[in-house]
Amino acid sequence: MKIAVVGTGYVGLVTGTCFSSMGNDVWCVDVDEKKIENLKKGIIPIYEPGLTEMVLKNHEMGQLNFTTKIEEALKICDICFIAVGTPMGEDGSADLKYVLAVAESIGKHMEHHMYIIDKSTVPVGTANKVRTKVQEELDKRGSGLTFDVISNPEFLKEGTAVSDCMKPDRIVIGVDNEDAAEVMRELYKPYVMNTENFILMDIASAEMTKYAANSMLATKISFMNEISNICEKVGADVNKVRRGIGSDHRIGFSFIYPSCGYGGSCFPKDVQALIKTADEFGYKARILQSVEDVNHAQKKVVVEKIISRFGEDLSGRTFGVWGLAFKPDTDDMREAPAITIISELTKRGAKVQAYDPKAEEEAKTCYLKGNEAVSYCKSKYEALQEADAMILVTEWKEFRSPDFYEIKRLLKEPVIFDGRNQYSAKQVNKYGLDYYQIGVNAALVTEETKG
């Protein structure tokens, strides 16, 4: 099949590359000329495990093409995915200007029947807006060309996006006619051996499914963080509570790990967008608002523990931070807890020595740009030299089994603040390190390690 994918971010580039790997002819389109030229040279704009090799291979085979001219792609392709960004607006709603700009371009340049597929995360009703925009442009041309608008939300996880795309746990398709449904069956047949994973529904339900899925996962995270905060107050250990409730198969262990909050391009934006959508229809989404409020506060929990230990004025203090990305195996820092933690520390006079395997450039050029109190290190241990304490923010694999003797040797004070509960108190305290984690009262930790 011949497929155009407009947008070469996480979703668009991964989607286009994976479709080309199945033998389809794919044209990835982007208005960013430098990005397209770099892609043609094999320079990938994002870090995603396994993606670079697939892009290079399929581009070399001629199955994956890059262009800035959508008209070139539409002349050849019958299917066009819209995979551009939908950033959060000031009021929390999803900004559809890029999606609708693509729809306008399609209406201007399409030369035959098109299957237009919304891959971007968009609120309910977006397909109707896309349809209207395309039709407006066709009417201006006096054209009688026809088209279908289909909803096909993505469920890719940064860090495992390639495997998620190649081996999806489900394909959700929103259509309004059988012909469109059949095209999507053919397109996804190589990916879905079990037809139960190919889920057809109406367009509005498909659009809602994406928001509901991400909001549910965000809810689990904020719920567990709420429990962790209660545990600290009452003297319980959230790590034990997690094991106790996670063993119930109705709950499970996924997304119930206490932490310093969630971030990324999806959960914060999608929760806010669903709250806004509900509000537009006259409904107050109370649970979702609480999910957002808890997460916002949770990003400051580590800072509160640091203040409790060192005081409100952190002038003259230096902290070694392990991890900047919002999660491991990505360089994405959008809404990352590290941004809040580091900003809160430096505005109190502290200096930060940060290390992240992939996200340093993102921090320097965007999210922590201009913060002169932050320096960047080439290794995790370099970040701890002459620091007053270590702060673990992102659970990269290389942080799982560190040399605690070396950590103690490098730090001025033997203190670890763990924002991901990667270690155990007994594991850390036996090296003479003080250990602060999420959802466990420091007094409880001390008492247990004595035993």
Q: Are 433 and 408 in contact (CB under 8 A)?
A: yes
b/e string for 23-59 if b means 16 or more Cβ within 10 A?
ebbbbbbbbeeebbeebeeeebebbbeebeebbeebb
Catalytic residue (choose from 165, 266, 366, 377): 266
CA-to-CA separations, 12 to 42, 128, 189, 319, in angstroms, rounded: 16, 21, 20, 38
State the residue for tokens 């709603």: 93
Write out the two tokens for 56.
């290079």
SS3 412: coil
CA-to-CA separations, 288 to 104, 220, 245, 345, in angstroms, rounded: 33, 11, 22, 29
Nearest CA-CA partner of 331 in 295, 299, 364: 364
Write out the two tokens for 407.
């950590």
State the residue for tokens 């089994």: 401
Backbone angles phi, psi at 413, to 5 degrees: -125, 135
Annotated catalytic residue 231: no
Backbone angles phi, psi at 173, to 5 degrees: -130, 125
Q: Are 215 and 291 in contact (CB under 8 A)?
A: yes
Using CA atoms, how far apart are residues 257 and 243, in angstroms rounded to an integer? Answer: 10
Cβ contacts of 344 within 8 Å, gap of 6 or more: 300, 303
Cβ contacts of 105 within 8 Å, gap of 6 or more: 6, 70
Q: Are 427 and 445 in contact (CB under 8 A)?
A: no
Identify the bridge partners of residue 416 per DSSP, sorted by sequence position.
390, 435
Per-residue DSSP letter, 228: H
What's the CA dihedral at 301, 302, 305, 311 to 10 degrees?
A: -110
Using CA atoms, how far apart are residues 127 and 118, in angstroms rounded to an integer? Answer: 7
Nearest CA-CA partner of 329 in 376, 395, 400, 269: 395
Identify the bridge partners of residue 81 per DSSP, sorted by sequence position.
5, 117
Identify the bridge partners of residue 254 per DSSP, sorted by sequence position.
none
Write out the two tokens for 135.
């039709």
Write out the two tokens for 278.
């509900």
Q: Annotated catalytic sites, by residue? A: 266
